[in-house]
């Protein structure tokens, strides 16, 4: 977690452009990539069932790459969390939604009430945590989700050629104090879900074109162009409450 703050600070010091540094800090080398990734993240959430009235928790929201694309559409409450204050400040400024919360966190929990969230997302966040940390985080996310609510997250998968360069780069930076890049196999995604009580609804491998990006991306029209994300995407669901589960029996 500290590594991410240092990574952001060193980009801010070495870059001539503050906006550029805060885009690079979340992994986008160009403004075009930043824009495209944010649009794809929004489309993935809509694909996963996000509705305008939902309560959304964006874990590791960074500089608002996703949030800016939701600011004019999501009516419900939004909570973005991150470990780096400079990124949160940028996200808050870019969204211009005084009703939205951007909160700094320092651990592996989410600052929300139990069963208060309709959808949680973590794009390229578990990719920077150890498996044990992601598992703990997911346990708390499960607590925060309403029954039937979903967790959408992306992960680095060994079998996807587009992300292999990340592993090569990590090999090069071994021994240096670099940000951790953690790959995850599909069996971990399945086993984590089972142990935590989630249902695994969908997995999209990073090279699968499943994201509609046409004009109708909110409604995913049939003529929409489909894109792949690079990182793989999993959709978990907290099981819905069974009818009469909470009724008192005599």
Stretch that binds ligand SAM, among 56-64, 138-146, 169-177, 219-227 (CB under 6 A): 56-64
Is the CB of 60 or the CB of 206 nearer to ligand SAM? 60
92 binds ligand SAM (CB under 6 A): no
Select from 54, 184, 194, 51 the least CA-distant residue to 124.
184
Which residues, 145 to 174, sit near ligand SAM by CB under 6 A? none
**Furthest CA-CA distance within the chain:** 70
Helices 85-95 and 2-14: crossing angle, nearest 10°?
70
Quickly tell me which residue has 């142990």 as its tokens: 195
Taking CB under 6 A as the criterion, the residue among 70, 84, 141, 152 binding ligand SAM is 84
Taking the C-alpha atoms of residue 63 and residue 84, their distance in angstroms, rounded to an integer, is 9
Q: Which of 21, 22, 26, 233 binds ligand SAM (CB under 6 A)?
A: 26
Looking at 112-120, 121-129, 226-234, 237-245, which segment touches ligand SAM (CB under 6 A)? 121-129
Interatomic CA distance for residues 40 and 88, integer angstroms: 20
Q: Which one of 43, 112, 124, 134 is in contact with ligand SAM (CB under 6 A)? A: 124
Q: Does 86 bind ligand SAM (CB under 6 A)?
A: no
Helices (H), 25-124: 31-47, 67-70, 85-95
Q: Let me know if 16 is exposed, middle or buried by CB neighbors in 10 A (0-12, 13-18, 19+).
A: exposed
Span of 60-68, 158-166, 170-178, 217-225 interacting with ligand SAM by CB under 6 A: 60-68
Residue (43 or 124) nearer to ligand SAM, CB: 124
CB atoms within 10 A of CB 106: 8
Question: Shortest gap between Cβ of 133 and ligand SAM (angstroms)?
Answer: 7
Residues near ligand SAM (CB under 6 A): 1, 4, 26-27, 41, 59-62, 65-66, 81-84, 87, 105, 108, 123-125, 128
């Amino acid at each position: 977690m500290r590594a991410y703050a240092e990574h952001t600070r060193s980009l801010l010091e070495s870059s001539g452009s503050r906006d550029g540094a805060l885009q690079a800090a979340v992994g986008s080398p160009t403004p075009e990539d930043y824009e495209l990734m944010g649009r794809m993240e929004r489309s993935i959430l809509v694909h996963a069932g996000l509705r305008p009235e939902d309560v959304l928790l964006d874990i590791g929201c960074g500089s608002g790459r996703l949030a800016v694309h939701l600011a004019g559409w999501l009516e419900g409450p939004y909570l973005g969390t991150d470990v780096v204050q400079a990124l949160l400040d940028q996200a808050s400024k870019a969204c211009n939604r005084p009703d939205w919360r951007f909160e700094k966190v320092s651990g592996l929990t989410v600052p929300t009430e139990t069963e208060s969230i309709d959808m949680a997302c973590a794009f390229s966040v578990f990719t920077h945590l150890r498996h044990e940390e992601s598992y703990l985080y997911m346990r708390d996310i499960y607590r925060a989700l309403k029954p039937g609510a979903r967790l959408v997250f992306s992960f680095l998968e060994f079998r996807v050629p587009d992300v292999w360069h990340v592993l090569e780069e990590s090999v090069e930076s071994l021994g240096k104090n670099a940000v951790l890049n953690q790959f995850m196999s599909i069996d971990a995604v399945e086993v984590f879900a089972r142990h935590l009580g989630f249902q695994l609804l969908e997995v999209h491998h990073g090279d699968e074109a499943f994201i509609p990006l046409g004009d109708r991306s909110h409604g995913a029209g049939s003529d929409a162009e489909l894109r792949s994300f690079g990182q793989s995407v999993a959709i978990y669901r907290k099981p819905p409450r069974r009818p009469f589960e909470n009724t008192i029996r005599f």
